[in-house]
Structure 1
Amino acid sequence: MTDVLRAHAEQQYAGELAALAATDDRPKPPNWRLSPWAVATYVLGGETGDGTPVSPKYLGSRRLVEVAIATLATDRALLLLGVPGTAKTWLSEHLAAAISGDSTQLVQGTSGTPEEAIRYGWNYARLLAEGPSPKALVASPVLRAMETGGIARIEELTRIPSDVQDALITVLSEKTLPIPELDSEVQARAGFNVIATANDRDRGVNDLSAALKRRFNVVVLPLPDDAEAEVEIVRLRVEQLGRSLRLPAGAEHADEIRRVVTVFRELRDGVTTDGRTRIKSPSGTLSTAEAISVVTNGIALATHFGDGVVRADDVAAGLHGAVVKDPVQDRIVWQEYLETVVRERKPWADLYRACRELA
């Protein structure tokens, strides 16, 4: 898989999953590849029974991850809720990879997602030639997961129209998907479940019905607790992305990572780290995922147009683009932050100069 830009979790971490499975002697729910304890070890990092190291995939509350895993071992579906950039998609992919060995049964929610994406569709050439038949039916990712006893993933559930969302109700409550055209049904095999994600910025877009909400256990993923935790998350993801993009990642980037995270946290919280200065927040979320993007872009600039060491000039454009989403309101917020905070920090003189040149 060396020529693949982004391998699926079960491909990228196949060695760790195999090592965990080889030494996992704890009880497993039906059709699970690993026990819940081993799934938690895979997600949070640790060691296998024979001492093989397992890298952390998610840095956050262990209890939240345990609740999410335990939910998937019951008849309740799991809804990961949080602001953009809190690793909802990332966590759902790794949970599916560890539990069923397949994270690809995915429905991407949009305002145009049709009911067929959750239930099934038809190969119309066969349908016209043969009439309704099992061979003419095109299974959705949810239906395939039901047939194999795997995990189906639904991204951005609240972006999907409400009438399409409700197609999940029978699936989640009865574990059955009727196919009236064939006078048949598909009953889910043991191990089947659904992980959905939702962005709490999308509340009011297509809110879940009360009937659908009752069929989900909600786990809210928070932003990192402190700056050190967020710096570590950014560092780990930048290293992972760097390997796939053939970009260098090392300790020489640490200062810029910390600086980007500090800028994001201060603008997000509306106050400087020392608590002395109140500042305005921009309209965007300034998520950890965006911080990762800013640093990765800076490394690409330094690698291809510099000496390989990330400096203020390399991250300034990314910071400006991440903060200034609204060209009027956010530009004012960013300029005020530069003048009242960045300018006053003597070690940040290079960042102030680089950002002012762009502004």
Structure 2
Amino acid sequence: MQRPPAEVRHADELAELRAGDTDPRPPGWQLSLRAALRFVVGDPDAGISRKFVGSPSLVERALVTLATNRGLMLVGEPGTAKSLLSELIAAAVSGTSTLTVQGGAATTEDQIKYSWNYALLVSEGPSRRSLVPAPMLRGMAEGRIVRFEEITRCPLEVQDCLLSLLSERVVAVPELDGDDGMVFARQGFNVIATANTRDRGVNEMSAALKRRFNFETVFPIPDLDTELALVEAESTALLRESGVERAPDRDLLEVLVGTFRELRGAPGQDDRPSAVMSTAEAVSTAHAVGLRGWFLRGEAGNAADIVSCLAGTAAKDSPEDLARLRRFLEQQARLRRGPQWQALHDARHLLDQR
């Protein structure tokens, strides 16, 4: 698999935590709240790795919310690991993170609740056998966490199909008779939704739906050292999976992360790119730099590769972003000390090839 889910990647840690978990658990949970917190934020003494670089209090509040009858809404800029956090929490609480709805303009109510096997429907009529459960129905029937990614990308009428599910904790299937027509949520069911604050064309949630969620904001990583360590670890893992034998150069990564942070925090709107210069984009760019250097020249990558790969990142939303990147390389990069910063400044001409 290119990217196994969290419960597969960290199966050993989850099994170890379950075996030694003696704390009380909320009904339907696979782990206690404290064990789930340790799984996400790490416990070096117990050999549990840190998987989410963020405030432990944020994770704690998120877990407490899921133990109540309210859903959890994670909001923030793209690339702040909202989806990763929801995946990790779902794996810890339910043992699976794959009950996921990916929001978008084409998402329908059938993809959220249920649909039908039309061949069976025609031959046998409505029955349990012809019913095809979607993530929300499965999550309620099995008592598991359901993840709803980018909920604000969905049309309002699709979003609002969650109102009765979150309030009454039941899915009605009017085509079925008797007890089969009502699927009641089991203990452990809840919803984690995510929404970013930068996408254009999103649909504002209704006030009624907002009341059924507790909102938590996931902020960008505040300090350089933590972000640099994360980008180094993630890009190294990605390069290894891509068959690259050379680890990324730390000095080069420091220039890359520093560039992202300065562009992200530029003081004026004229200097700040409209593209999202997030930690996730930095990891992707570092991965591309390593691939470019290794497969083209047999090395770890250089500052010229950063400029070439940054151009693709910065040019996503607006042609003006290339001009902003060029100004940064011409005016700011040359003022930084170190040979890698100087090499970055010297490679600015590569932007003219875009």
TM range (shorter): over 0.9
- 1:72 corresponds to: 66
- 1:21 corresponds to: 18
Q: Distance in 2 between matches of 1:340 and 1:22?
A: 57
Residue 353 of structure 1 deviates from its aligned partner by 2.1
Q: Does 1:356 align with 2:349?
A: yes
- 2:273 corresponds to: 282
Q: Distance in 1 between matches of 2:317 and 2:18?
A: 49
Q: Distance in 1 between matches of 2:310 and 2:62?
A: 33
The DSSP-based 3-state class of the residue aligned with 1:284 is coil
- 1:91 corresponds to: 85
Amino acid at match of 2:349: R
Amino acid at match of 1:92: S
TM-score where L is the length of structure 2: 0.93
Q: Does 1:312 align with 2:303?
A: yes
- 1:39 corresponds to: 36
Amino acid at match of 2:258: T
Q: Distance in 1 between matches of 2:308 and 2:187?
A: 50
- 1:188 corresponds to: 185
Q: Is the 8 A contact 1:82 1:200 kept in 2?
A: yes
Residue 20 of structure 1 deviates from its aligned partner by 1.0
Amino acid at match of 2:254: R
Residue 14 of structure 1 deviates from its aligned partner by 0.4
Q: Distance in 2 between matches of 1:278 and 1:160?
A: 29
- 1:340 corresponds to: 331
Shift in CA distance, 342/278, structure 1 to aligned 2, threshold 3 Å? farther
| 1:66-99, Cα deviation, whole Å (9 max, x unpaired) | 0011111111111110100000111111111111
Aligned residues: 347
Residue 302 of structure 1 deviates from its aligned partner by 2.0
Aligned runs of 1:222-261 on 2, under 5 Å? Answer: 222-248=219-245, 250=247, 253-261=249-257
Shift in CA distance, 143/356, structure 1 to aligned 2, threshold 3 Å? same
Identity, % of aligned positions: 44
TM-score where L is the length of structure 1: 0.92
Residue 249 of structure 1 deviates from its aligned partner by 6.1
| 1:282-331, Cα deviation, whole Å (9 max, x unpaired) | 11111111000000111111221223323212222111111233553112
Q: Is the 8 A contact 2:274 2:318 kept in 1?
A: no
Amino acid at match of 1:239: T
The DSSP-based 3-state class of the residue aligned with 1:180 is coil
Structure 1 runs (4+) greater than 4 angstroms displaced: none
Q: Distance in 2 between matches of 1:247 and 1:5?
A: 15
| 1:12-31, Cα deviation, whole Å (9 max, x unpaired) | 11011111111111111122
Q: Does 1:62 align with 2:56?
A: yes
Amino acid at match of 1:297: A
Residue 205 of structure 1 deviates from its aligned partner by 2.2
The DSSP-based 3-state class of the residue aligned with 1:125 is helix
Residue 153 of structure 1 deviates from its aligned partner by 0.6
Q: Is the 8 A contact 1:267 1:279 kept in 2?
A: no
**Superposition RMSD on alpha carbons, in Å?**
1.8
Q: Is the 8 A contact 1:132 1:182 kept in 2?
A: yes
Amino acid at match of 1:269: G
Q: Is the 8 A contact 1:42 1:55 kept in 2?
A: yes
- 1:263 corresponds to: 259
